A = this chain, B = another copy of it.
């Protein structure tokens, strides 16, 4: 198992990429991790961790796609960027999977252009796994396709079904459609048409779910358009952050409150861990003819390590083979 890691991707690159790669290399002995990016920048980092695991190598790439670059830059102006090289390595079978915390639009664009879509898939979708009161669930699309057709959402349902089966260990995952109400009559024409397609499909479709059902764990999978999914993701992070900020402000006022938090520290820690995005690692880009895992731009060392684990599981457990079967069954 060889995993190409974009060493220049995130906000804190290459520091957290290198540290995360080293953690992953120690955990996943059977994996070879190829750090892709500016050789000089990358070479200095691993020397901090002695001994550097032998299953880490470096591949030079002369350019870096920044957050402000156009999505098309890895296939047009920056063809030797770390993103382009990672994608090329997957294309040329030099890597079995890739991970990047870089410009999401650029990763999606390079993956679609260079690797192509799985046969029968019309659009790729980014899926996020998150904690609910009933265990992990997943939502897609969170931003690859902001103006989709009902048919694309149906395919997201099929692909998420495959992912949940192979990765989340759910033999018959429940699929919900994000809407403004539970009733079939609710929503826009787009959502109503999607509801019809999912009802007629073979997935375990439980109907509409509302914003409030997402974290209650009403369904294992939530399907929505990439605009709404992107907003859901960012709002959720924001509410969690804001609640902590409000709490911190309140706690400043009182010695007893501070003492209370000191005593409750272990519970707080366990709780934050549960809500921690990094625990769940990267987001799979589903529908691509290859394994591409996208990490949050603000990923830390743990998030990078877990994204590499997700990439290795995705390949190992044959998620794309399962997706192909689902798409094939649906076309018949």
Contacts and interface: CB of A to CB of B under 8 A. Distances in A.
Contact of A271 (B146, B247, B256, B275): B247
Given A251-B264, A257-B266, A232 B230 contact: no
A235 interface: yes
B228 A215 contact: no
Interface string A221-233: 0000011101111
A260 B250 contact: no
B188 A227 contact: yes
A104 B231 CA distance: 23
Contact of A232 (B147, B211, B242, B275): B211
A217 to B, nearest CB: 9
A94 interface: no
A216 interface: yes
A180 interface: yes
Interface string A117-148: 00000000000000111000000000100110
Contacts of A267: 247, 250-251, 253-254, 257, 260-261
A34 to B, nearest CB: 30
B238 A240 contact: no
B231 A215 contact: no
Contacts of A260: 259-265, 267
Nearest to A270: B250
Contact of A215 (B189, B216, B242, B253): B242
Contacts of A258: 264
A213 interface: yes
B133 A245 contact: yes
A263 B259 contact: yes
Contacts of A226: 180
Contacts of A263: 256-257, 259-260, 263
Contact of A230 (B211, B236, B254): B211
Contact of A211 (B189, B233, B259, B268): B233
Contacts of A215: 235, 238-239, 241-242
A246 interface: yes
Contacts of A254: 266-267
A146 B180 contact: yes
A240 B246 CA distance: 12
A329 interface: no
9 contacts: A146-B180, A146-B188, A211-B232, A212-B241, A231-B232, A247-B271, A256-B263, A260-B261, A260-B263
Interface of A: 131-133, 143, 146-147, 178, 180, 187-189, 191, 210-216, 226-228, 230-243, 245-247, 250-251, 253-254, 256-268, 270-271, 274-275
Given A210-B234, A260-B260, 11 more contacts: A143-B180, A211-B236, A211-B237, A212-B235, A227-B228, A243-B275, A246-B274, A250-B267, A253-B267, A256-B263, A260-B267
